[in-house]
Amino acid sequence: MLLLYYMRKAIIGILALSVLLSGCGNASKTAHEKDSGAFRIVSYNVGAFGKFMGSSIPMIADMVKEAGADVVTLNELDSCNSRHGINQVAALAEKMGWQWFFGRAMPYAGGSYGNGVILPKKCKILNEYVIALPKGAGSEPRSVAVVETDEYVIGAVHLDYANEGAAIGQVKVINEWMSAHFKDSQKPVFLCGDMNAKTDSKVIAALLKDWNMLSSGELSFSSAEPSECIDYIFHYKRSAHVRKVSAHTLATFRKGDVTKASDHLPIYVDVMF
Give mean pLDDT, residues 245-255: 96
What lies within 8 Å, CB to CB, of 236 at 6+ separation is 178, 182, 185, 188, 189, 190, 191, 210, 211
Q: What is the pLDDT of residues 20-75, one digit of tens each?
A: 333 333 333 345 788 899 999 999 999 999 999 999 999 999 999 999 999 999 99
Residue 99 to residue 147: CA distance in whole angstroms: 11
What lies within 8 Å, CB to CB, of 226 at 6+ separation is 218, 219, 220, 249, 251, 265
Residue 270 to residue 56: CA distance in whole angstroms: 25
Residue 89 to residue 93: CA distance in whole angstroms: 6
148 DSSP β-pair partners: 127, 153
Give mean pLDDT, residues 105-125: 95
Residue 228 to residue 219: CA distance in whole angstroms: 5
Residue 212 to residue 207: CA distance in whole angstroms: 8
Supply the pLDDT for residue 33. 83
Average pLDDT score over the chain? 90
The answer, as to whether pTM is greater than 0.85, is yes
Q: What is the pLDDT of residues 122-178, one digit of tens each?
A: 999 999 999 999 999 999 999 999 999 999 999 999 999 999 999 999 999 999 999
Cβ-based neighbour number of residue 37 at 10 Å: 8
Residue 86 to residue 75: CA distance in whole angstroms: 16
Supply the pLDDT for residue 8. 47
153 DSSP β-pair partners: 148, 189
Supply the pLDDT for residue 108. 82
Q: Is the pLDDT of residue 9 over 60?
A: no
Indicate the Cα dihedral angle 166, 170, 171, 177, nearest 10°: 160
Residue 107's pLDDT band (cuts 50, 70, 90): confident
Supply the pLDDT for residue 31. 53
Q: Which helix (H) or strand (E) holds 91?
A: helix 88-96
Residue 123 to residue 121: CA distance in whole angstroms: 5
